[in-house]
Amino acid sequence: MTETLENRRKKLRIRAWRRGFKEADLILGRYADQMLEAMSESDVADFDRLLDQLDADIYSWVIGTAPTPSEFDTPVMDSLKTFRVDRDAAFGDGPKT
């Protein structure tokens, strides 16, 4: 039996919120809550592959302290980086200049 896209999205939302690394939980969980429903099947697959990676790696790619490997440099990663920056700006947690 093939898993429906709706069920896959539900599972990904749970995985995004239960990372074990608070900062990753907050970024990935909030992102999943706001973005998963609008994602294409291809984007859902990219997000799924991303969630298979180590929290510390994902976090460093999102905040820009390490380069994103080419296999994860997708529109989903671009969207995630933008989401994180926009969210930080909205809550006053952005970079101090």
pLDDT digits (tens, 9 = 90+) for 60-93: 999 999 999 999 999 999 999 999 866 654 445 4
What pLDDT, on a 0 to 100 scale, did the predictor assign at position 97? Answer: 40
Distance CA 8, CA 6 (A): 5
The verdict on residue 95 lying in a domain is no
The verdict on residue 97 lying in a domain is no
Domain that residue 67 falls in: 5-90
The verdict on residue 96 lying in a domain is no
Count the domains in the chain: 1
The verdict on residue 51 lying in a domain is yes
pLDDT digits (tens, 9 = 90+) for 34-64: 999 999 999 999 999 999 999 999 999 999 9
Domain CATH for 24 = 1.10.150.250
What pLDDT, on a 0 to 100 scale, did the predictor assign at position 88? Answer: 55
Computed from CA positions of residues 69, 66, 74, 29, in that sequence, does the dihedral angle turn out positive or negative?
positive
